[in-house]
Amino acid sequence: MTVQNIAVLGAGTVGAQVLRLINEHRDDLQARSGAQLNVSAVLVRDVNAKRDWDVDPNLLTTDAQAAIDGADIVIELIGGIEPAFTYVKRALKNGSTVITGNKALLAQHGPKLYELAAQNDTDLYYEAAVAGAVPIVYGLRESLAGDRVNRMIGIVNGTTNFILDQMATTGASYEEALKEAQDLGYAEADPTADVEGLDAAAKCAIMASLAFHSRVTMEDVEVEGITSITAEDMEEAAKQGMVIKLLAIAERRVDIEGVEGIGVQVYPALVPTTHPLATVSGAFNAVVLENESAGRLMFYGQGAGGAPTASAVLSDLVAGASHRVRGGHAPRESRYAELPILDPGSAQTRFQVRIRVREAAGVLEEVAGIFARHGVSLLAVQQNKAKDGQDVQIVLATHTTRDSDLQAVIDALGKSKSVLAIESSLRVEGDD
């Protein structure tokens, strides 16, 4: 049986699990791939560091070039742009199969790497880079190869999902929930990448590239994080049978000038509790695909963690090894469609705007008039006494409207003397 040498670059939580699974499931993996999988090198920073998992010390090395050049299949689990980018390029130029879980690298240099793989007649796999164990890359690359994806909505960041869950269930403020997430190890000391939506944006770019056969990078994604979500937003949402989720959205749409293209956005939105995404809690991820023929499909599973992510790496390993010994390739990363990225202003959603106004006759009419003048049609208006005194709170729900029109309304509300504060403006997921 053909032997395939495997170099594992980076041996953190995921790497350790990958090595364990290759070892424990040796016979299964051999039967499935048709290859004998032999770990030939494990690239680490320090060969003498203490490890709480088993590894043959002779495999450990700090010599990246030797590790890469001696392997048929390179599993890159270092993360970040450099030196991962250099290593992956070297492996692909060698004609080796590359498996990576590095979303930052793909969101920035994906198209270059896919091209390099094709030039060298080899394959690049990255199921582990998006949504952990959830097989969304397979879903988009293979299961929907005969269909047309119209829209993709995902919950793809576990940290923010945990924080929003905590806020919803305990009434905690954003700061308190973040603190708890940090104490439990679910959020990093510097939580920026998660809470500002950058991690979700990177995944969104990778998935949108696949779904729409176009070049989408992280810079194309319009991003809004969860840092301005308040306990009051959560309370209001619950009253209306909704939850707030950080959504990564990519959709095919037509802009004001009639140009067909793609919109890619990450933002917190109100989601009705009856929506399949509303029940996705804690560290779970889910991606809903709305397709021309297949209709609505959902993929759901654990979005992070050593073992779930390692499971995604192993599925790529079986596919990659199998293609090496039996011929064939992973589906090519075709960018044939090359749809343009559209301005986020052309996106159409429903909104819910909460403002605080002075209690005075005619204010409701004035506010409703501002919406009407900008062509934003209202679905419902509710007026509440503010908790702390004389002011009045107005919650306005719109019909589907363009982002740019709603932005104009917000600007006009800001200039109105009757409006004391714009407390929140959130999109609402789902049709009118």
Catalytic residue numbers read 203
Among 130, 134, 244, 363, binds a second copy (CB under 8 A): 134
- Considering only residues 175-234, where is the footprint of a second copy by CB under 8 A? 213
Least Cβ distance, residue 28 to a second copy (angstroms): 7
**Residue span 43-72 as binding mask against a second copy, x where in contact by CB under 8 A, dash where not:** ------------------------------
**What is the Rg, in whole angstroms, of the alpha carbon atoms belonging to the chain?**
24
Q: Does 148 bind a second copy (CB under 8 A)?
A: yes
Query: Within 13 Å, how many C-alpha atoms sit on residue 294's CB side?
Result: 18
Query: Sheet containing 3-9: which strands, arranged edge to edge?
Result: 60-61, 36-43, 3-9, 73-76, 97-100, 124-125
Q: Does 120 bind a second copy (CB under 8 A)?
A: no
Q: Does 147 bind a second copy (CB under 8 A)?
A: yes
DSSP calls for 127-188: GGGSSTT--HHHIIIIITTTS-EEEEEEE--HHHHHHHHHHHHH---HHHHHHHHHHTTSS-
Among 102, 311, 349, 398, binds a second copy (CB under 8 A): 311
Among 57, 185, 258, 295, binds a second copy (CB under 8 A): 295
Q: Does 323 bind a second copy (CB under 8 A)?
A: yes
Least Cβ distance, residue 128 to a second copy (angstroms): 10
Least Cβ distance, residue 292 to a second copy (angstroms): 8
Q: Does 245 bind a second copy (CB under 8 A)?
A: no
Task: Choose between 336 and 432: whose C-beta lies nearer to a second copy.
Answer: 336
Task: Choose between 39 and 353: whose C-beta lies nearer to a second copy.
Answer: 39
Q: Are strands 419-428 and 36-43 parallel, antiparallel or unpaired?
A: unpaired
Between the alpha carbon of residue 316 and those of residues 32, 224, 330, the distances in Å are 12, 32, 10
53 within 8 A of 16, measured Cβ to Cβ: yes
Q: Does 319 bind a second copy (CB under 8 A)?
A: yes
336-354 as b/e: b if 16+ CB within 10 A: eeebebbebbbbebbbbbb
Angle (CA) 118 122 123, round 5°: 90
Q: How far apart are CA 234 and CA 252, in angstroms?
A: 30
Q: Does 333 bind a second copy (CB under 8 A)?
A: no
Task: Choose between 112 and 148: whose C-beta lies nearer to a second copy.
Answer: 148
Q: Does 38 bind a second copy (CB under 8 A)?
A: no
Q: How far apart are CA 176 and CA 182, in angstroms?
A: 10
Give the chain's largest Cα–Cα span. 85
Least Cβ distance, residue 19 to a second copy (angstroms): 13
Task: Choose between 110 and 135: whose C-beta lies nearer to a second copy.
Answer: 135
Q: Please list the residues that pair with 289 across neighbouring strands.
A: 152, 297
Q: Does 151 bind a second copy (CB under 8 A)?
A: no
DSSP collapsed to 3 states, 218-275: HHHCEECCCCCCCHHHHHHHHHCCEEEEEEEEEEEEECCCCCEEEEEEEEEEEEECCC
Stretch that binds a second copy, among 194-202, 248-256, 318-326, 383-391 (CB under 8 A): 318-326
Q: How far apart are CA 319 and CA 313, in angstroms?
A: 10
Least Cβ distance, residue 48 to a second copy (angstroms): 29
Least Cβ distance, residue 166 to a second copy (angstroms): 18
- Considering only residues 10-29, where is the footprint of a second copy by CB under 8 A? 17, 21, 25, 28-29
Q: Does 168 bind a second copy (CB under 8 A)?
A: no
**292 three-class SS:** coil
Stretch that binds a second copy, among 54-62, 162-170, 314-322, 373-381 (CB under 8 A): 314-322
Task: Choose between 224 and 333: whose C-beta lies nearer to a second copy.
Answer: 333
61 within 8 A of 43, measured Cβ to Cβ: yes
Task: Choose between 332 and 373: whose C-beta lies nearer to a second copy.
Answer: 332
Q: Does 144 bind a second copy (CB under 8 A)?
A: yes
Q: Which residues bind a second copy (CB under 8 A)?
A: 17, 21, 25, 28-29, 31-34, 127, 133-135, 138-139, 142-148, 213, 276, 279, 291-302, 305, 307-308, 310-319, 322-323, 326-329, 331-332, 334, 336-337
